[in-house]
Structure 1
Amino acid sequence: MNQVDDPRTNSRTITKQSGSNFYYAFLFLPKPKREALYAVYAFCRLSDDLVDETTAGANPADALTRWRRTLDTAIEDGVDSPVMNAVGRAARQFHIPKVYFEELLNGMEMDLARARYGTFEELYLYCYRVASIVGLICIEIFGYTNPLTKTYAEQLGIAFQLTNILRDVRVDAQRGRIYLPQDDLRRFGYSEEELLAGRYNHAFTELMRFQCERAHDFFRAASAALTAEDERSLLAAEIMRAIYYRLLLRIEAQRYDVFHGDITIGKPRKLLLAGGLWLRSALSPRPQPH
C-alpha cells in the first residue's frame, strides 16, 4: 500500500476508500476525535488484511507477530508506519489502554487458528475481541461519564459483528469459514455442506431467522444501556447503530437470502441517516446536571 507522509491523511484515506459505515459516522465529529478514529479504523483494516489478504508464500502469523511488535513501539514512541504512528498518538491523547489493541489482535489471530465455532459462547469471545473492543476504544475517544456506557459499547459491538456475519455468510463460506455456531446448524437441520454450497432452503431461513433475532437482542441491550448524560457524545456510535440496524432489517426483508446478490445500504441513505441523527442531536436540549 502506498503510504504518504502524513499519518492522519493516510488513515483517513484508508477509512474513506473502504466504504465503511464508520466513515459516515465520523463525519460530524470534531477534527481531533475524527482523526483519532480514522487511525483506529485504519489499524483495524490493516490488521484484518494481514489475516485475510496475504500474498502467496506469505505467513500471516509471522506478519501479525511483527505488527504486534510495531504496536508495542508505536504506543510509547514513533515508528516507520504512518498508521501506527497515528494509532500511538491517539492512544496517548485519549488514554486508550494498550490492552484493547492487543485484544483486538487476539481476535484477528483467532481467524488464523479456527474456521468453525461450536457454540455461541465461543463465537461471543470472537465478536467481543474484533468488535466490542473497537467500541470500547471508540468511547474513550468520544468521551463518556457513566460506566454503563462500557456495557453499551460491548453489546453494540456484538450486534454489529453478528450483523456482519449474517451479511457475509456467502463470502466467508468461499474462504472456508463458517461463523454460525455448529450447534445452531444442527438444531435447525442445516448442514455445513449445504452452507458451503450456498443452499437456500427452509432450514436455512429458519436458522437465519434465529440468528437475526439474536442480533436484535444485542441491539436492544445496547439501547437499554445508553444513558441520557452520554447520548450526545455517543452520536457517532448511534449513527453506526442506525446504519447496521437497517442492514439487519435489509437481510430480513430479503428473506435471509444472503447467497444471491450483495446486501448493502447505499451512500445516500447512510448520509441521510447520519445527517438526520446529527440534526436531531443538535436541536435536542442538553441534559441538565443533577
Structure 2
Amino acid sequence: MTPNTAQNELIEKGWAALPAEYRIPEKPPTLEEAREYCQRLSETHYENFHVASWFLPKRLRPHFHSIYAYCRISDDLGDEVGNREQSLALLDLWGQELDACYRGEARHPVFVALAETIRVCDIPKEPFADLLVAFRQDQTVTRFETMDDVLSYCRYSANPVGRLVLYACGYRDAARFALSDYTCSALQLANFWQDVTVDYEKDRIYFPLADMRRFGVDEAMIASRSFTPQFRELMRYEVEYARQMFAQGMPLIGMVDRDLALDLDLFSRGGLEILNAIEQQDYNVLRARPSISKGRKVALLLRALSGKFLGRSAA
C-alpha cells in the first residue's frame, strides 16, 4: 500500500465519523451559499455564540460566522473522530485547505466564506494555523508538567480565537492582543477546571503535574473520583489562578468599541461564573460537573442587553 493510498484511507474513514456536510464538495459553493452554510453551522452548534452575535454590527456577522465555522470543524476533526491517526490525517488535509484558501483556491464552504473574511479584515494565516497546532497536539499530549506548559497549549488552543475576533473588529495591536490572550487563556482554564472528569474520560489531565504533586493529589484520585482535602486545595488554587488571569484581561473591555465590549464582558463574566460555581460546590468537581444556572445565564444576558440598548459601556 503506497503512503498516499494509506493516507487517503485514513481520511475517508475519518470523514465517515463526522457529519456528511463537513466533507469537501466536488464543486465550490458560491459566496452566498458558503455564508449560509457557516451561519447555519454557527447557530445550530453553539447557543452562546448565537446569543453573542446579537450584539455584533450586522456587517460583521458573516465574518464571525465564518471564523466560528472554521474553529468548529477544526475542533471536531481533532475531537470527534475517535481515532488518532484518522484525526491527524484530516487535520493535515484541513491545513492544506487553509493554505489553498490563502492562495485563492478555496473549495470547502468554510474556506469560500473565510476567504472573503480574510480579504475584508486583512487577517494573516498564523492564528488559523495555530489552532491546528493545538488540535494536533491533542492527539499526542495528554499531560502537562507545569502551568507554563498548560499556558503554552492555550497559546495555540484559545488565544488565536481572541486574536481573530480582534482582527475581524479592526484591531491589530500588540497591547490588545496581550490582554485578549489573558482572557482567552482564563476561559480555557475555567473550562478545564469545569470538565476535570469529562477530560479524564478522554485520558486528558490539564492540572499541571507539578501542582498535583505540590498538593498531594495523584491521578488515582481523579480516576476514582475521590474528593479529598488535598484535591480541594488544588482546585482552590487553580480557580484563583484563573480568576487572576481574568482580572489581567479585563482592561481590554475599555479599549474596544461598545458592541465588542459587551461581548467581551458577557464571555468574561460567564467564565467567572463557572469559577464561582466550582467554589459554590466546595470545589468538588469530581462529584458533579459545575454549571451556571439558567437564572444566572439570564441575569448575565439581561445585564449585557441593558448595556446594548441603554448605551452604557460595560466595565
1:143 aligns with 2:208: no
Alignment of 1:57-76 (within 5 A): 59-76=86-103
Task: Report the secondary structure of 2:226's partner residue.
Answer: coil
TM-score of the aligned structures, taking structure 2 as reference length? 0.82
Q: State the one-letter code of the partner of 1:150.
A: F
How far did residue 115 of structure 1 move? 0.4
TM alignment of 1:1-290, pairs within 5 A:
1-3=19-21, 6-55=33-82, 59-144=86-171, 147-228=174-255, 230=257, 232-265=259-292, 269-284=296-311
Return 31-40 or 272-281, whichever deviates more.
272-281
Post-superposition offset of 1:89: 2.0
The range that moved more, 274-283 or 154-163, is 274-283
The answer to whether the 8 A contact 2:38-2:65 is kept is yes
Distance 1:20 1:258, change over 3 A: farther
Q: Secondary structure of the equivalent of 1:234? A: helix
Q: 1:20 to 1:44 in 2, by over 3 A?
A: farther
Native 8 Å contact 2:74 2:91 kept in 1: yes
State the distance in 1 between where 2:155 and 2:147 align.
Answer: 12
Conserved 8 A contact 1:239-1:277: yes
**1:40-96 deviations in Å (ceiling 9; x for gaps):** 122112111111111569621111100100111123324331122222221222111
- 1:116 is aligned with what amino acid? R
Q: CA deviation at 1:225?
A: 4.3
Q: More displaced, 176-185 or 4-13?
A: 4-13
Mean Cα deviation higher: 68-77 or 226-235: 226-235
Question: Radius of gyration: which is bigger?
Answer: 2
- Give the superposed CA RMSD: 2.4
Aligned-residue sequence identity (percent) comes to 29
SS in 1 for 2:158: helix
Which runs of 5 or more residues in structure 2 are unaligned?
1-18, 23-28
Q: Mean alpha-carbon deviation: is it higher for 29-38 or for 119-128?
A: 29-38
**Structure-2 separation of matches of 1:56 and 1:104:** 19
Post-superposition Cα deviations, 1:229-277, rounded to whole Å, max 9, x if no partner, equal 6455432222211222212211111112222333333566435423422
Task: Answer yes or no: is the 8 Å Cα contact 1:11–1:83 preserved in 2.
Answer: yes
Aligned residues: 286
Unaligned 5+ runs, structure 1: none
Deviations 1:84-141 (A, max 9, x none): 2222221222111111111111111111121000001111111121111110111111
- Contact 2:306 2:312 survives alignment (8 Å): no
Answer whether contact 1:24 1:270 (CA < 8 A) is retained: no
Q: CA separation of 1:229/1:102 partners in 2, compared to 1, >3 Å: closer, same or farther?
A: closer
Q: Whole-Å Cα distance in 2 between the matches of residues 137 and 124 of structure 1?
A: 18
Instruction: Give 1:186 shift.
Output: 0.2
What displacement does 1:159 show?
Answer: 0.6
